[in-house]
Amino acid sequence: MFTPIPTLLIALLTLLPRPALSYTTLSPSSLSRIPSGGSDFDPTTGALLAPLLIPRVPGTPGSAAARRHFVDFFASRLPRWTVATHNSTATTPATGATLVSFTNVILRRDPPWAAPGDVARLTLVAHYDTLYRPEGFVGAVDSAASCALLMHVARSVDAALTRRWEAIGEGDGLGGEEVGVQILLLDGEEAWESWTEEDSLYGSRALAEEWDIVRHEGVSVFETPLKAISLFVLLDLLGAADPSVSSYFENTHWAYQKLSRAERRLREQGLLESKPKTGRFLPDEERHSFSRGYVLDDHVPFLQRGVDVLHVIPTPFPAVWHTMEDDGAHLDVPTLRDWARIMTVFVAEWMDLGDYLEPAPGDGQEEYRERDEL
């Protein structure tokens, strides 16, 4: 992560609002059914989060263990999601001539009848790698917490997606796009020495390049996997208390507003736990002017290729950012569970799941228990 650039990149983009067609608002009773993840976000014992709080430097055993955690979770608990990896190699300024391997993990659920090239995918993204130095750095807000959040979101919408697609069957959309969801857990976001265009974003640069080049087979709605991304929602540096996330991009402000409204409605219904000093996690619901600066992160290679981006990152960054204090003890679990609820609402609304959510199973009752230790 690196902060400031008032930049010319943004001037190169076409800034057209592109609202999603099927987006519907959850009712108050559906909102009350959104699960928080309960104790799964406990930093020492939580089944989703705790296994990730280890150093995850690309190409090391910790990185492989984190990937195993993701893959085992989806294979055992969410078998309807396809699991794929995308690999690349590069040299880094810290490791000389040796090639380092970077492995992105791609989890995906499309309507069962849809051809891959016909699906517009809500794309939820976080990076799982950690800094090369300081040695032992475990990156709790950067970005283990965001990865665990996305696992929770997938779990929370999975059954409703199945029910919805079974109920509507083929022929949904009245000639419109098919709508799917994918999660990208990216490798190699961090710089190994200091942030430059070459020393950063190893995984996302390789993936954006490939997805810009590969063509879908046959006649398809979207020419490339890149064009099939309806919105790139990047989570980063979440999990510390009192976050304040701005609306960074005018062309996706409509999507920011959906997220901000989800927070407001959950808060108004008393369904959030945290009492942020900032008042709101997402205070810019009514914002009307936008600066040209944004935070450099995994969205950049996609943004440069014209993908719409919603960047969910607090500014200022958490105080522990890039220090050894960025560990489990410095996470604020109520804040994390609130993000889990807010993001789940956003995705459930995007995927039009209001009628298909289950009655609340009781927070913390639906824990994921792990099959094997890492």
Q: Which residues bind ligand NAG (CB under 6 A)?
A: 85, 87, 103
- Closest to ligand NAG by CB, 71 or 94: 71
DSSP state of 311: E
Does position 1 interact with Zn ion (CB under 5 A)? The reply is yes
Residue 142's binding partner out of ligand NAG, Zn ion, none, with CB under 5 to 8 Å set by partner kind: Zn ion
Q: Any contact of residue 142 with Zn ion (CB under 5 A)?
A: yes
* Nearest to ligand NAG of 105, 300 (CB atom): 105
Q: Least distance from C-beta 94 to Zn ion, angstroms?
A: 15
Q: Which is nearer to ligand NAG, 208 or 357 (CB)?
A: 208
Answer with the entry of ligand NAG, Zn ion, none that 87 interacts with (C-beta below 5 to 8 A by kind): ligand NAG
Cα separation of 59 and 52, whole Å? 15
Annotation says 236 is catalytic: yes
List the structure tokens of 61: 């055993």
Q: At closest approach, how far in Å is the CB of 353 from Zn ion?
A: 32
Phi-psi region of 99 (alpha: psi -120 to 50; beta: other; left: phi over 0): beta
Q: Which residue is nearest to ligand NAG (CB)?
A: 87
Cα atoms in the 13 Å half-sphere on the side-chain side of 369: 2
Contact between 360 and 37 under an 8 Å Cβ cutoff? The reply is: no
Place of tokens 């009628």: 355
Task: For tokens 């000389």, name the residue.
Answer: 96
State the minimum distance, in angstroms, from the CB of residue 56 to ligand NAG.
Answer: 14
Contact present, 348 and 354 (Cβ < 8 Å): yes
Catalytic residue among 129, 178, 187, 189: 189
Task: Identify whether the C-beta of residue 133 lies closer than 8 Å to the C-beta of residue 191.
Answer: no
- Give how many residues touch Zn ion by CB under 5 A: 2
Residue 189 catalytic? yes
> Cα 280 to chain center, whole Å?
20
Q: Which is nearer to Zn ion, 30 or 130 (CB)?
A: 130
| Least spacing, CB of residue 103 vs ligand NAG, in Å | 5
State the catalytic residue, choosing from 236, 284, 308, 326.
236
Cα-Cα-Cα-Cα dihedral of 145, 191, 102, 154, to 10°? 20
- Which residues are annotated as catalytic? 189, 236
> Site residues (CB under 5 A) for Zn ion?
1, 142
